[in-house]
Amino acid sequence: MNVLFVVEQAEILEHFKDPFGVNPGFGGTSFTTLRLALELAQCPDATSGALNIWLGAERSGVQSYQGIPVAELSHPNPQCWDVAILTGGSLERIYGGQLQLQATRMLAWIRHPYDWDKIHKARTLNAELVSVGKAQFLSNVLIGGWHHHIDNLFCAARIRTAAGLQQIPPWVEPERASPNTWRVGYMGALVPSKGLHELAEHWPSTCARLRAQGKEPRLEVIGGAGLYGFQEGHPRLPCSESYGNTLERLFGAELQRSVQFHGSLGVERYRIMRHCHLAVVNPSGQGEAFPATILEWLALGVPVVSSQHYGCADAMQHLPTTRIRHPEEIPQTINTLAALGPDKLHELQQHCWRVADLFSSQQPLIVNQWRLLLQQHTHPSTLNEYLPGPVYGLLATQWMAMQIQRLKHKLRRWGTQLSTPTQPR
């Protein structure tokens, strides 16, 4: 069975050289596509021999990646694939006619909650839907009905190795420049949907509260618009001109005093991340499907302030003390965390480390789920960890039957009491 994974950012094939390494600085969609293809191609299980894994990209310039053949898709490819896995960008291009390929089965591996647009296009192309996050899956059920859900792969050990960590470090590391400096981290693309402007709006207030505690705040901003291929046209910040102007206005005087923009970084970003006291990730959760960024911070034992909206909920359900309902709660939440003693902070750090371990432990199951999904030929069964719809109906029917039985029992007892003559005193 020939299975094609379409890679959106072809450049990653040249930069992601270590198959056991971390994302070299590309969008999460392209990175997780490569990771899953590698896992399926290199799986030692004998049953995986039924899957011939291919990668497909436009103008990639390579014919093979880590032993996996690469199909050139910049012009119509005559081969008919048994299964083609499409992410948002490639689904868009096939729908619009810019990308042409033939496949017996198509899987639309969608990466956004409430993805009306991609669900519509997947239906038009007769592609099966695959959601990557638990909350995202439920949001898309409301639009596209019951469909496949398999979590994205996440490996905490890769993150820790890149950061030079092998065990939970003490809360105050010797590498920290000053014990009075309170480091807050942000990592992500500098585009509106990732929410840095929501943090920027409340950063001056956050700084005032931290300084009142005797702590000098520092915000480490890792990432740029180029992470997803967008233009970085601002003269001073690694983002578009309009978004950069918005950030400068919101940060105000703190931009020069307490904010450091590092731009898009490779593996060296983890050395910066490990020295942060906490991180803020997409305060409103907009557009998040799977909490990959949150998990990267947690893998280093760094608590995360984020929302329980959309895909952020998958991880933030385990972090009630750092969860916010709206961005206005950022200053108070950070101030409260900064006021905790070292022992309490270390307990929180250990908890974050273990939450990352929880997600990381699911990797063998996730690979097996994908293998099962890809090996289905006709009339594929819906694959996800949720109970099938009829089970909920059965539970409701059983509940109703039990309530009726209880009511009947009460009525019989009431009738018996009425029919029993009262003894004269």
Backbone angles phi, psi at 45, to 5 degrees: -60, 135
**CA angle, 262 then 266 then 267, to 5°:** 110
Q: Could you read off the pLDDT of 148-167 as tens digits, one per residue?
A: 999 999 999 999 999 988 77
- Residues in contact with 1: Cβ distance below 8 Å, sequence separation at least 6, in sequence order: 50, 51, 52, 82, 83, 374, 375
Domains, the chain, in order of start with CATH, read: 2-149 (3.40.50), 161-360 (3.40.50.2000)
- 425 residues of the chain, pLDDT tens digit each: 999 999 999 999 999 988 899 998 888 899 999 999 999 998 765 444 589 999 999 988 889 999 999 999 988 888 899 999 999 999 999 999 999 999 999 999 999 999 999 999 999 999 999 999 999 999 999 999 989 999 999 999 999 999 988 776 655 454 444 668 999 999 998 999 999 999 999 999 999 999 999 999 999 999 998 776 677 889 999 999 999 999 999 999 999 999 999 998 889 999 999 999 999 999 998 889 999 999 999 999 999 999 988 899 999 999 999 999 999 999 999 999 999 988 898 899 999 999 999 999 999 999 999 999 998 865 566 776 666 666 667 778 888 888 898 899 888 888 887 777 666 65
pLDDT at residue number 175: 45
Q: Which letter does DSSP use for residue 250 in this model? A: H
DSSP 4-23: EEEPS-TTHHHH---TTS--
pLDDT at residue number 60: 85
The half-sphere exposure of 362 on its side-chain side, counting CA atoms within 13 A, is: 13
How many residues would you count in the chain? 425
Q: What does the radius of gyration of the chain's CA atoms come to, in whole angstroms?
A: 26
Q: In which element (H, E) is residue 104 found?
A: strand 102-110
**What's the distance, Cα to Cα, between the start and end of the chain in Å?**
88
